Amino acid sequence: MESLVTATPTVKSTPSRPEYELQVYQSLSKTFTSSFVNELRTSTPKYTALESQDKEPQIPAAGHISQGKVNTGVSQTQNGLIDYAAKYVQPWAELAKGPLPANQTLLLDYVTPFQVVAFWRAICFKHIAVASTVLIFVLVKVLTVVSTGLFALDPISFNDIPQSMYATTVFDGSEGLSLERIDARAAINLYGHKKSSMLLPNGTTTEYAFQLIEPTTSVPNDTLAYSASVDVFIADNWDCESEESSMTAHYNTSITLPGCEVHNGHLDVPKWYADSDANETTPRYGYWGIFQQVKCSNLDPSDPKFNRYTISVAYSKGIAQNNAIMLNSSNVVCTPSYHIQRGNISIFTNGSLNGDIKFSKAQSHVEGITADDILLAARYSLQQTTIPSSFDSDYLEVDGFLNAMIRATPEFKVEMLMNNSWLEVKSKEVYQQHAA
């Protein structure tokens, strides 16, 4: 009899529904965790200053710090993403380990609660990754507040770093100082500086003129200032004398000073006297002032003190220009001087002076340029301007030099014109400022 062999198929037992769902969750959690870790490895940026083994960290020079934040190695945005990812994945990572209570896996929520609650919950469940990201997230916030709100980063400068320099300007008198080369810029620049705080030309102040310097080689872009020893122009002296003057016809003036006899001075009355009606009987009163060059008639023209300069004012009463009486007058006779002195300066990279000048004792002059040349050039620059007087009066007529003296007096009163001390002080100020 032929035997019959029956093959019995092996039937694989089917797990219950809860056990099946747990296996699915474990498989998903392992797949998600592995994918997330790989993503972090490929997307996390490398920080050259912290991790690069090929390059040395680049440290900025002290004193050039311009940023007001602390570099933690990870930006706040990246730290927030990592913190969120750790909180989101932690329940799945726990589920991948095996069966655990639902409050440690599916029902575990680190994303919704406040950071303090999430941190405490992570400590209780010994979830170190979540606790660490929460702690770092909070520390980054605290460091940001501390670094930007409680501390101020001050630049630290390095001084006296050797650097080869060269002068870009020089005091040269080989061509003299012809008035044909003088225009109104000196007077206008100074007026704009005083009136509207405009910057003076590089290499000048209201007291000095100095050589400009530049480095011979390139320097860091954040260089603050250059220092060097240069020539400095100083209109330092303005010697004035005052004596009683005698008037002849048409207010021609003679002044006798120690060692100097002046006979070519001139004063006048305001020009509107000439416009008076011939039948007018009411007298007019007015001031007339002038800055003029005079000569010491008792000295040789080659004498350095042969030329003098007077600042004179006449106060007159009259009906017509040729029918006036001088009621009062004032005058000072002055001699200018200047010198070139070596000085250590510090200038900003834009050319403006940084601090005070430290002078040496050595002094000199520019060959071919006299103090007379400089004073006459300053006066000529003032004559080219039409800057109005700050004192509005219908009985005052002065030239450009005295007009500058009036503008240099904040609370000017017309009676000051009769004060010789005021004439001396303000004329010296105008000379020094316009000469520089």
- Residue 2, in any domain of the structure: no
d(CA 268, CA 274): 11
Q: State the Cα–Cα distance between residues 295 and 323, nearest whole angstrom.
A: 29
Q: Which two tokens stand for residue 178?
A: 């012809």
Q: Quick one: 144 and 254 in the same domain? A: no
Tell me which residue range forms the domain holding 366: 239-435
Domain count, the chain: 2
d(CA 197, CA 411) in angstroms, rounded, equals 19
Token pair, residue 306, equals 């042969």
In-domain check, residue 79: yes
Note whether 127 and 262 are same-domain residues: no
Under 8 Å between Cβ of 239 and 337: yes
Q: Rounded to two decimals, what is the model's pTM?
A: 0.61
Strand partners, 262: 255, 296
Q: Does residue 209 lie within any of the structural domains?
A: no
**Nearest one of 55, 54, 47 to 73, comparing CA atoms:** 47
Residue 334 banded pLDDT, cuts 50, 70, 90: very high
Please indicate, yes or no, whether residues 134 and 247 belong to a single structural domain of this protein: no
- Residues 253 and 379 occupy one common structural domain: yes
In Å, the largest CA–CA distance within the chain is 174
Q: Which of 174-183, 270-279, 322-331, 403-412 has the lowest mean pLDDT?
A: 270-279
Question: Is the same domain home to 135 and 245?
Answer: no
pLDDT in tens, 229-243: 999 999 988 999 887
Can you tell me the distance from the alpha carbon of 366 to that of 435, in angstroms, rounded to the nearest whole number? Answer: 14
Q: How much is the mean pLDDT over the chain?
A: 76
Find tokens 């009683």 and name the residue. Answer: 244
The answer to whether 389 and 402 are in contact (CB under 8 A) is no
Which amino acid is it at 344?
N
User: Which DSSP string do the residues of 58-126 spell out, in sequence order?
Assistant: -PPPTT-----S---SS-HHHHHHHHHHHHHHHHHHHHHTS---GGGTTT--SSSS-HHHHHHHHHHTT
In this predicted model, what pLDDT tens digit does every residue of 287-314 receive, in sequence order?
989 999 999 988 888 888 889 999 999 8
Residue 94 backbone class (left: φ over 0; alpha: ψ -120 to 50; beta: rest): alpha
Per-residue pLDDT reduced to its tens digit, 59-109: 232 222 223 333 434 455 666 677 777 787 888 887 788 887 877 777 788
Structural domain includes residue 212: no
Residue 21: pLDDT band (50, 70, 90) is: very low
Domain boundary among 150, 176, 194: 150
